[in-house]
Amino acid sequence: MMPTPFPFLLAALLLMTTPFISALALGATPPDAQQRPHAVKAPFGAVRNDDYYWLRDDQREDRAVLDYLNAENAYTDALLAPTQPLQETLYREIVGRIKQDDASVPYRERGYWYYTRFETGKDYPIHARRKGSMDAPEEILLDVNRLAEGKGYYSVGDSVVSQDNRLLAYADDSNGRRQYTIRFKNLETGETYPDQISGVSANLVWADDNRTLFYVENDPNTLLTVRVKSHVLGTPTSQDRVIYEEQDDSFYMGIGRSRDDRFICISVESTVSSEQRCAPAADPSAFTLLAPRERDVEYSADHLDGRWVIRTNAPGPGGKPARNFKLVTAPTDSTSRVQWADWVAHSEDVYIEAFELFDGFTAISERSQGLERLRLLKADGKQEYVQADEPAYSMGLDVNSEHDTPWLRYRYTSLTAPATTYELNLDSGERRQLKQQPVIGYDPSQYTTERVWVEARDGTRVPVSLVYRKGFKKDGTAALFQYAYGSYGLSMDPGFNSTVVSLLDRGVVYAIAHIRGGQEMGRDWYDSGKLLNKQNTFNDFIDVTDALVRQGYAAPDRVAAMGGSAGGLLMGAVANMAADKYRVIVSQVPFVDVVTTMLDPSIPLTTNEYDEWGNPEQQQYYDFMLGYSPYDNIRAQAYPAIFVGTGLWDSQVQYWEPAKYVAKLRDHNTGSLPLVFRTNMEAGHGGKSGRFRKYREAAEYYAFVLDQLGIAAIATE
């Protein structure tokens, strides 16, 4: 047994034999939200009643709503009180694995070495640099610990240094709403300028004059990125010039510099289309369109060596779309797709995810058979691949700030291998390990990772990444913790997660189900898990559970599931469709009220996502979405134990979705397993800020899960 702090030992041993639900005997009573009928109407005449619509308060000021959320928090505190010793044990384990005085791998840019470091006991990073070499005196750019003092939440988004290395612009957020404020600092004097720009995204670019900053302004209500503006340091923000304004509210917007620093580019993209316009960074007065937007054509361009290199799914001469993307080139003055020439061909089996340009080679990030790989294409046309040593892993490009170098930086990790940064010399073949994430007390030789394939009900083979502690026996008695996301084409790659070690050390098998809706298996994998194909996402997750139980990885009554955001939608759908297959579910910031939200274009992100979920103003999509929307499909049945978490200031999934979901679950749940709802009153979509505070949240829901799975509080040695 691992050493356990003595004050917690007795309580931990009691927890091993005391049913969690007995906490109800202590007098904890779940809140009972008032029902207030409200008609939700669709344009074509459909009407639904929503008894808990009143829990929506856009201003977060309604006393009745806040009282309800606080009552749920108080109930959660009472119900989870018996797990406090386990929570403390888990928190100490997780934090104990962290090297507190850690630092990132420095990278060089315009003569300076930049890095981020942490100091022991402090929650936030210090951003710093050294001129010429790492032996030079340290210059602190931002001490986020000082900036965060007295704030319940604080986060720095983008921070960019001017081209002459003298000025810093950074964007910060003090409530988790992701509405940032831009601030300016003189790095030579330490002075913070009075210029401030609020209501923006965390995306900043300096022009070459070192006085003009480009930024993206948000709509104050929908939080959509609506216009690019430029601010001249020392002038009133009222004089900021509008550079570009997007009229289509289904598009996101961002800005950046080209690889060779010659251009500033504005990129706009929706789920199925994109467009890019660029201007010389030395004179960004007029932006030129690279190619006009076209539905179902996506592209992103970068510039080096006198040409544009463009990743795109645009059709070739034969008219067939490059679904898995290809690379094309175009001259610097390109203004249409007619000028594009194919360079790296499209493949039906390999998905091109990203690329990085260097003077002597191009690094291409790809996916094949659900796994990432790096293809290195040299100037002479020869190519090679970076090799991996494990069956399930994650590999990708790291920070490569300079293009005039033969060294490629990339990162590698797996479910057993902590994140490692390597540097590979394309000329000599030499490989150097720059850093491996330190994990105190962790021995990778004690754990095993596997890659298995599960046949879903429609015959599709779904990859699954597994990890467990050595000594595990596939005899159908273990507990399983299954995670997935399955939306937006975001791939959940098998990377190391130090918090999961606390599950593995207690005999839990951890699985990532790479279900449809992600992009692990290419673009078709995404397309077959969105819009009218969304049911595949839910079926895949359930079918993976059934297969892992059938193959002996877990006992049928000891399965836990977890997902967040759109993965929370997955959890809600799975709980409705297959409640008997899961003992406990963790649903973080869950998108569960799909139809009502997507009917309201005033809610952030709604209009951007019609091509992801469908527009329920059209009856075909309304009916289909209504068929799986977790909130609308709650029914009288025994549900698993469920932990629901949210943030009051969440701008991506508004807090009232999980609040309504929990209130309705309480009305219909016929089972006796606990349902708890935790609202972080000072945070948004990402939970608490700070390096350590987020692990309090993880320890809380891990303790809930372990207790429901009947697992002792003390890990094996």
Residue 312's domain is classified under what CATH number? 2.40.128
- Res 16 pLDDT > 70: no
Residue 595 confidence (pLDDT): 97
The token pair at 289 is 């369109």
Which tens digits make up the pLDDT trace of 191-229? 999 999 999 999 999 999 999 999 999 988 888 899 999
Provide the pLDDT confidence category of residue 104 given band limits of 50, 70 and 90. very high
689 falls within a domain: yes
**712 phi and psi angles, rounded to 5 deg:** -60, 155
Residue 715 confidence (pLDDT): 53
Average pLDDT taken over every residue of the chain: 92
Lateral strand order in the sheet of 361-368: 350-357, 361-368, 371-378, 383-385
Residue 685 confidence (pLDDT): 61
Which tens digits make up the pLDDT trace of 612-640? 999 999 999 999 999 999 999 999 999 99
- Res 10 pLDDT > 80: no
- Res 8 pLDDT > 80: no
- Give the active site residues: 565, 650, 685
Report helix, strand or coil for 83: helix
222 falls within a domain: no
The token pair at 703 is 């303790």
Q: Which residue has the tokens 């010039």?
A: 241
Q: Which of 391-395, 571-575, 649-653 has the lowest mean pLDDT?
A: 649-653
309 falls within a domain: yes
Which tens digits make up the pLDDT trace of 434-450? 999 999 999 999 999 99
Which tens digits make up the pLDDT trace of 33-76? 999 999 999 999 999 999 999 999 999 999 999 999 999 999 99
The token pair at 593 is 């009220």
- β-strands 431-436, 420-425 pairing: antiparallel
412 falls within a domain: no
Residue 684 confidence (pLDDT): 61
Residue 687 confidence (pLDDT): 59
Which tens digits make up the pLDDT trace of 477-534? 999 999 999 999 999 999 999 999 999 999 999 999 999 999 999 999 999 999 999 9
- Res 11 pLDDT > 50: no
Residue 25 confidence (pLDDT): 38
101 falls within a domain: no
Provide the pLDDT confidence category of residue 151 given band limits of 50, 70 and 90. confident
Residue 12 confidence (pLDDT): 31
Q: Is the pTM of this model over 0.85?
A: yes
Give me the mean pLDDT over the 67-86 stretch.
Answer: 96
The token pair at 31 is 């809140």
Residue 603 confidence (pLDDT): 80
Which tens digits make up the pLDDT trace of 155-189? 899 999 999 999 999 999 987 778 899 999 999 99
Instruction: Report the domain count for the chain.
Output: 2
Final residue belonging to a domain, choices 325, 348, 371: 348
Provide the pLDDT confidence category of residue 255 given band limits of 50, 70 and 90. very high
CA angle in degrees (0–180, nearest 5) for 204-648-78: 140
474 falls within a domain: no
Give me the mean pLDDT over the 237-249 stretch.
Answer: 95
Q: How far is CA 537 from CA 201, 401, 529, in A?
A: 31, 37, 5
Number of residues in the chain: 717
Q: Domain range holding 307? A: 258-348
Provide the pLDDT confidence category of residue 14 given band limits of 50, 70 and 90. very low
Which tens digits make up the pLDDT trace of 489-499? 999 999 999 99
58 falls within a domain: yes
618 falls within a domain: no
The token pair at 153 is 């939440």
Q: DSSP label at 698?
A: H
Report helix, strand or coil for 212: strand
Final residue belonging to a domain, choices 348, 366, 397: 348
Final residue belonging to a domain, choices 305, 327, 348: 348
Q: Both ends of the chain: CA-CA distance in Å?
A: 5
Give me the mean pLDDT over the 324-352 stretch.
Answer: 95
Q: Looking at residue 692, which CATH number applies to its domain?
A: 3.40.50.1820
Residue 653 confidence (pLDDT): 87
Residue 714 confidence (pLDDT): 53
